[in-house]
Amino acid sequence: MLKLINVLAPASAMLIATLSITGVVAVAQNAPPSPEKQAEKAVEIRQGLFNVQSFAFGPVGAMLKGAAPVDAALVQKEAARVQMTSSMITDVFKLDTRKVQTRTKAKDKVWTDPQDFAKKANDLHEAAVALEAAGKKADKSGILDAAGKVGNACKACHDEYREK
């Protein structure tokens, strides 16, 4: 009996240690991401949103600059995309990433003046709604005027909330 205990005790201890380590690893793998990882992901999502927004407004911007012919159907499509992306701006800035070193151009003012930031995001959304309406009317002058207002809404936010 003593021999059995001498054999089983170390084996049991090793089994318990292995299960404990496995349990710790499993818990660590399922643990919530660190604040650094959360901030990095938030910045990645924000930058992705703005890349999509830039992609959507690019053809309209080219029309505005005279580098492409005005295409009312394309304006409607891209204006709808800008409406969608602009409606997500405040959502992707909910996580305050100022306390973590990240590669971002967001100024602190995003989080210190959230009402104005939200207003500027809404201004962009409303300008995109007006651009889509101008596209439906297919009036070149109206389209270019509305496109300019979208560009101005982007600039207004960048001037206040984005590092150069």
Q: pLDDT tens-digit profile of 50-83? A: 999 999 999 999 999 999 999 999 999 999 999 9
**For residues 115 and 120, what is the distance between their CA atoms, to the nearest angstrom?**
9
**For residues 67 and 147, what is the distance between their CA atoms, to the nearest angstrom?**
14
Q: What is the dihedral of CA 142, 84, 119, 154, to 10 degrees?
A: -60
pTM of the model: 0.80
> What's the CATH number for 35-161?
1.20.120.10
What ranges do the domains of the chain cover? 1-31, 35-161
Reduce the DSSP state of residue 162 to 3 states and report it. strand
Each residue's pLDDT tens digit, 101-148: 999 999 999 999 999 999 999 999 999 999 999 999 999 999 999 999
Token pair of 135 as six digits? 């596209």
Which DSSP string do the residues of 67-113 spell out, in sequence order?
Answer: SS---HHHHHHHHHHHHHHHTTHHHHT-S--TTS--S--B-THHHHS
Cβ-Cβ contacts under 8 Å for 136 (sequence gap 6 or more): 72, 76
